[in-house]
Amino acid sequence: MKRVFIYFPCLFNLTLYTCLKYYIRSLTIPWYVHCIVLFVLFSQCSKVTPINELTNTQPTDLQGLLVELKTVLGEIKSLQISQEVSVQSLQRTYNEHGAVLIEQMSGNLNADIDKCGNKYVDTSEKSKQYIKEDMCRSVLSILNEFDNITVKELNEMKVEVISIKGSVSSSIHKCTGLHNDLSQFHEIVQKIGDNKELCLIASIKCKHIIQQALTLLGKSGNVFKVQGKSAHDVRITSDSKRFCWIQAICALPDGQVLVADRNNKKVKLLNQQYQVVSHWDVAADIRDMCQITPSEVAVAVNTARNTHGVQFITVTQSQITPGRKLELQHGCTGIAHHQGELFICSGTALYKYTLNGKHVCSLYEDISYSLYTGKNHG
């Protein structure tokens, strides 16, 4: 009996390994079992085509496929390693920042105790009692400040770290799965030989998984098309200027949108209908924004007194709340966030910082044109 390969479109929802394994088993099982299996697996197909007909119209280049598989394998592995390093770096930054804050509190306590101790020498019993009470109040004040401000800041950072680590871990998991699939395909393709039918199956399946890998690598080549546009008035009664200058936009996962109105020095929160529901007045020139977590955004600001920094704001229950602030020694004309690190443009250079404001390195500098160094650099 002549064996014929049939192309079932829905077959390619299965892995190549499953396809080949079924083919090998098909050599030893009766024909009527094939019929049952194929009916169960492929009853959703609207059209079937003999594979040998497709091999004449869809030539395969196994050698080129092997080269492409090997290249993408290397890139996926590099991405996975990079992401794992980023997670470790993020956790290390969080631990270091916590240690610095605790050390600062310890230093404040020691300084206060030393100050009270110096007063304690050669004083009357009544004065000593007063000094003891004063020292207790001072120590309690430092501890309360640590609880109310520092612990809150650490908890906010912890939430950020957990969120970012979860996102990166998910990406690492995808990398691992794709790397395993690509490795398996690479091994199988080398063993196929001259079998045209299996070459075609391998080609179709490999191109599908390679496309998934390219999408993960940011090389999908997809073209974005504008489906529609609309105009919305985001002016509010407290605006000092007639026109709004939207300098930056952040779309939040719940459908709300943050817009930076540079002209009126405000960050405005729009609901899903693009109506202003909350705003935050900024005593500085807003230059850019970027999202840190689903509810936290970093705002790059400059002031007339030549102070520059990053102000973190949080959106909770449709309200904007300002949080911690980073002060920098250079201008802030642009900001972006990636896997727990901030990339800040100064006007002539691009810098990398940790989320707690620690300078990591300078990535790029060009003083020949000092107006702007935008996000396209780096």
How do beta strands 334-338 and 285-291 pair? unpaired
Long-range contacts of the stretch 223-231 (C-beta < 8 A, 24+): 230/274
* C-alpha–C-alpha distance, residues 185 and 264, integer Å: 57
Report which of 284, 278, 277 is spatially closest to residue 262, judged by C-alpha positions.
284
Domain ranges of the chain: 6-57, 63-216, 246-365
State the CB neighbour count (10 A cutoff) for residue 367.
9
From first to last of the 378 residues of the chain, give the pLDDT tens digit: 444 444 444 444 444 444 444 443 444 445 444 444 444 444 555 555 555 555 565 556 667 777 887 888 888 888 888 878 877 877 787 787 777 778 877 777 777 777 766 665 666 666 667 667 777 777 777 777 776 666 777 777 777 777 777 777 777 788 788 788 778 877 777 777 676 777 777 777 777 777 888 777 777 666 677 888 888 889 999 988 888 999 999 998 888 999 999 989 999 999 999 999 999 998 888 999 999 888 889 999 987 666 788 999 988 889 998 888 888 888 888 999 887 788 998 888 888 888 888 888 888 777 765 554 455 444
pTM above 0.75, yes or no: no
Does domain 246-365 fall into CATH 2.120.10.30? yes
